């Protein structure tokens, strides 16, 4: 969506400007996440949900009913390996891990390395190397290997491509243009069929059941097209549910955290950043909602809602609601200074990254680690047969 009045753009491939989340809700036709729905999430409800970072939804009640009843349910959350991973990339994965621990959910994590080749100027070799690095960060999150499957499109083409072929016949050019705009090439215009294969794969492997897709609101077109395919009832699958989130802010205080580290005004906090780098980036670059001098701040206070350090704590990095409320109150009355708030955020982020990096260093070889998360041959064949495709064996 591009809104000319407010001058912001939100698509799966471009996010820019001051985003009006209410206009997006109206444009995309999603529902607002309600108090009643939030209360149905397992306790303790994740801060991303209870603080409405996930602020919109599609059919989330069906997923919650299955999760609370102990019935089969799954989560799909993926990664497009366009560069080194940063905080905005990893937050949905840790959210999915929490839900898996709370509800015993199946989790499927597709890596869309082929899509990044279609829509970026990177070579296949560059994308392949980035995929391997991103996979190590994913493995460091610590999903349950017995209930998690990791799919890399080019490596798992034997299952993804037959599914995409089936779903590709369901997506017209007009549907693509309505959801995505103009295509960059024929690979790009085919990609909604591959995304549908990602989102429906858990049901094609294990049978019909509710599936939740927790994503940034910019990725909603993928869900809408997939739901249209599922609604045709040719494959005995439910339409996937979705949780749509606001963006973890860039350090400059607007838009979406970027994979690029080229910006002089808003460097990105990468998962590989050490503690010193995190403190330097936040103290130097994080937009402040405070006043220009200490005396003025003591007298007038600051605005936590405009402050990036507070937003980081609010979104993910401060679990305790009472402590977060106290931080906001003290910032508003001026007793908490902007530098002190930045220190709190930097400490929380750096400690999170320290733990993530320790787990990453303890991993074995990528091939050894991935083996536990791969689809079995039986799962692959089951998914292929569900769309009318079976593997032909070579005749000797």
Query: What tens digit of pLDDT does each residue of 237-264 get?
Result: 999 999 999 988 889 886 556 554 444 4
Closest CA to 76 of 115, 111, 31: 111
194 within 8 A of 112, measured Cβ to Cβ: yes
H or E element that contains 282: helix 275-285
- State the DSSP string of 318-378: ---HHHHHHHHHHHHHTSS-HHHHHHHHHHHHHHHHHHHHHHHHT---HHHHHHTTSPPHH
For the stretch 78-95, pLDDT in tens is: 998 888 999 999 999 999
Tokens 């994308």 belong to 127
- CA distances, 245 to each of 95, 118, 209, 253 (Å): 12, 25, 23, 17
For the stretch 363-373, pLDDT in tens is: 999 999 999 99
At residue 7, the 3 state secondary structure works out as coil
At residue 244, the 3 state secondary structure works out as strand
- CA distances, 380 to each of 139, 149, 375 (Å): 21, 11, 6
Whole-number Å distance between alpha carbons of 222 and 195: 6
For 129, phi and psi rounded to 5 degrees? -65, -40
Closest CA to 382 of 208, 234, 220: 208
- At 6 the pLDDT is 56
Widest pairwise Cα distance in the chain: 85
- Whether 396 has a pLDDT exceeding 80, the answer reads no
- At 253 the pLDDT is 80
Residue ranges of domains in the chain: 18-245, 275-361
What would the CATH number be for the domain defined by 18-245?
Answer: 3.40.50.620
- The mean pLDDT of 316-343, rounded to a whole number, is 97
Contacts of 316 by beta carbon, 8 Å cutoff, 6+ apart: 47, 48, 53, 87, 91, 94, 248
Tokens 């931080």 belong to 327
Both tokens assigned to 34? 């309600």
At residue 264, the 3 state secondary structure works out as coil
For residue 44, say if its preceding peptide bond is cis, omega within 30 degrees of 0.
Answer: yes
- At 3 the pLDDT is 56
Least confident of 240-254, 335-349, 380-394: 380-394
> Selecting from 3.30.70.1230, 1.10.240.10, 1.20.1050.10, 3.50.50.60, what CATH number does the domain 275-361 have?
1.10.240.10
């Amino acid at each position: 969506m591009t809104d000319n009045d407010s001058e912001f753009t939100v698509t799966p491939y471009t996010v820019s400007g001051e985003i009006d989340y209410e206009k997006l809700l109206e444009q995309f036709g999603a529902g607002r996440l309600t108090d009643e729905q939030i209360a149905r999430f397992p306790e303790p409800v994740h801060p991303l949900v209870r603080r409405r970072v996930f602020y919109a939804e599609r059919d989330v009640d069906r997923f919650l009913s299955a999760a609370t009843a102990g019935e089969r349910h799954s989560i799909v959350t993926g990664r497009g390996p366009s560069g080194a991973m940063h905080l905005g990339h990893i937050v949905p994965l840790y959210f999915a891990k929490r839900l898996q621990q709370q509800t015993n959910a199946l989790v499927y994590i597709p890596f869309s390395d082929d899509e990044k080749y279609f829509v970026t100027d990177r070579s296949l070799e560059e994308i392949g190397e980035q995929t391997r690095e991103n996979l190590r960060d994913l493995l460091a999150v610590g999903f349950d290997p017995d209930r998690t499957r990791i799919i890399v499109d080019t490596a798992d083409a034997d299952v993804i491509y037959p599914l995409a072929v089936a779903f590709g016949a369901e997506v017209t050019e007009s549907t693509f243009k309505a959801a995505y705009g103009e295509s960059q090439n024929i690979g790009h215009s085919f990609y909604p069929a591959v995304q549908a294969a990602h989102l429906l794969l858990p049901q094609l492997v294990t049978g019909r059941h509710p599936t939740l897709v927790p994503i940034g609101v910019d990725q909603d077109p993928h869900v809408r097209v997939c739901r249209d395919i599922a609604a045709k009832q040719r494959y005995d699958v439910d339409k996937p549910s979705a949780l749509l989130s606001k963006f973890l802010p860039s350090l400059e205080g607007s838009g979406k955290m970027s994979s690029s580290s080229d910006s002089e005004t808003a460097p990105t906090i990468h998962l590989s950043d050490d503690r010193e780098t995190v403190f330097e980036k936040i103290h130097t670059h994080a937009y402040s909602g405070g006043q220009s001098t200490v005396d003025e701040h003591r007298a007038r206070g600051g605005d936590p809602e405009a402050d990036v350090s507070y937003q980081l704590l609010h979104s993910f990095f401060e679990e305790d609601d009472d402590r977060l409320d106290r931080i906001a109150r003290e910032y508003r009355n001026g007793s908490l200074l902007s530098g002190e708030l930045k220190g709190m955020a930097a400490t929380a982020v750096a400690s999170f990254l320290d733990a993530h990096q320790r787990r990453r260093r303890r991993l074995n070889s990528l091939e050894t680690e991935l083996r536990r998360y791969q689809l079995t041959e039986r799962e692959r064949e089951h998914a292929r047969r569900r769309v009318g495709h079976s593997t032909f064996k070579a005749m000797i």
